[in-house]
């Protein structure tokens, strides 16, 4: 039997069994095991990992574990100075484009309301999601650990169970993209950027009551749909404000 010592940092602890969180722990194993396999067998999707130190030196996912190795495993962690160390990915992780898995319709809608580029199609297969993620450099948001364990997933974030607002807050904080939010700049239905339109030009398309109360309108060309600050908008805005609030 060989043994290795592990310590996981920050959010990665959420994936571990309770007695392994925020502490050193030992794993006994046999034969040649790559660090990637080992990390996943401990419950942590490899897409959540950004840096691995083996005995103080950075290594990549293919590293074969040796007897008595000691590992520190980090998530994306901006404040850590890792400029001299091996990054696990050739492409930077911090893309600000997303694709949500088919169970995340609500998350997709609010990410769009915040102005983030969010591909969402409830008809997509897992393969389809992964292909779009790779072709368009989109980060996958999912509640499925299984999806993140597919070999060719390069950028993905696991959404822990919780309220919608908390889940979105966590993504924003994790990627540090709060300043990139542009609320109400995108169509909630199709993700296209909206354009503002003059009220005079669309009088015949909106209810008279609305045109009396609202002055700002925006338009989605691909859906041929108008948006204005009605009661539905106010409801979404309250949620958006809470998400960006602190």
* Residues near Zn ion, by CB under 5 A: 187, 189-190, 192, 220, 222-223
In the complex with Zn ion, the residue whose CB is nearer, 190 or 203, is 190
- Sole residue written with tokens 């396999």: 37
- In the complex, minimum distance from the CB of residue 158 to Zn ion, in angstroms, rounded to a whole number: 29
> Shortest Cβ contact with Zn ion: which residue?
187
- In the complex, minimum distance from the CB of residue 192 to Zn ion, in angstroms, rounded to a whole number: 5
- In the complex, minimum distance from the CB of residue 205 to Zn ion, in angstroms, rounded to a whole number: 15
- Give the largest Cα separation in the chain, rounded: 78
- In the complex, minimum distance from the CB of residue 140 to Zn ion, in angstroms, rounded to a whole number: 22
- In the complex, minimum distance from the CB of residue 200 to Zn ion, in angstroms, rounded to a whole number: 22
Count how many residues are written for the chain.
246
In the complex with Zn ion, the residue whose CB is nearer, 16 or 223, is 223
What is the spatial distance between Cα 96 and Cα 109, in angstroms, rounded to a whole number? Answer: 16
In the complex with Zn ion, the residue whose CB is nearer, 91 or 189, is 189
In the complex with Zn ion, the residue whose CB is nearer, 94 or 221, is 221
The residues, ordered by sequence, that sit 6+ positions from 50 with a Cβ below 8 Å of its Cβ are 74, 75, 76, 77, 82, 87, 88, 89, 93
In the complex with Zn ion, the residue whose CB is nearer, 180 or 190, is 190
What is the spatial distance between Cα 21 and Cα 7, in angstroms, rounded to a whole number? Answer: 8
Give the β-pairing of 2-8 and 70-74. Answer: parallel
In the complex with Zn ion, the residue whose CB is nearer, 215 or 222, is 222
- Give the burial class of 240: count Cβ atoms within 10 A of its Cβ; 0-12 exposed, 13-18 middle, 19 or more buried: buried
The residues, ordered by sequence, that sit 6+ positions from 113 with a Cβ below 8 Å of its Cβ are 183, 184, 186, 188, 236, 239, 240
- In the complex, minimum distance from the CB of residue 223 to Zn ion, in angstroms, rounded to a whole number: 3
Structure tokens at 199: 């009220």
What is the spatial distance between Cα 108 and Cα 110, in angstroms, rounded to a whole number? Answer: 6
């Amino acid at each position: 039997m060989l043994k290795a010592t592990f310590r996981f940092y920050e959010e990665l602890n959420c994936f571990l069994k309770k007695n392994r969180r925020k502490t050193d722990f030992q794993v006994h194993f046999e034969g040649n095991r790559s660090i990637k396999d080992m990390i996943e067998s401990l419950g942590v999707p490899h897409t959540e990992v950004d840096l691995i130190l083996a005995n103080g030196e950075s290594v990549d996912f293919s590293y074969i574990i040796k007897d008595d190795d000691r590992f520190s495993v980090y998530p994306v962690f901006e404040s850590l100075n890792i400029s001299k160390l091996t990054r696990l990915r050739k492409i930077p992780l911090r893309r600000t484009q997303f694709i949500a898995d088919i169970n995340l319709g609500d998350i997709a809608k609010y990410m769009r309301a915040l102005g983030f580029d969010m591909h969402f199609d409830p008809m997509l297969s897992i393969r389809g999601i992964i292909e779009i993620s790779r072709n368009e450099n989109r980060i996958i948001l999912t509640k499925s650990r299984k999806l993140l364990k597919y070999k060719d997933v390069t950028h993905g974030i696991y959404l822990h169970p919780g309220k919608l607002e908390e889940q979105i807050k966590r993504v924003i904080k994790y990627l540090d993209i709060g300043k990139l939010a542009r609320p109400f700049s995108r169509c909630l239905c199709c993700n296209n950027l909206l354009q503002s339109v003059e009220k005079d030009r669309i009088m015949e398309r909106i209810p008279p009551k609305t045109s009396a109360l609202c002055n700002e309108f925006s338009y989605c060309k691909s859906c041929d749909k108008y948006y204005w600050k009605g009661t539905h908008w106010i409801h979404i805005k309250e949620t958006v404000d809470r998400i960006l609030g602190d």
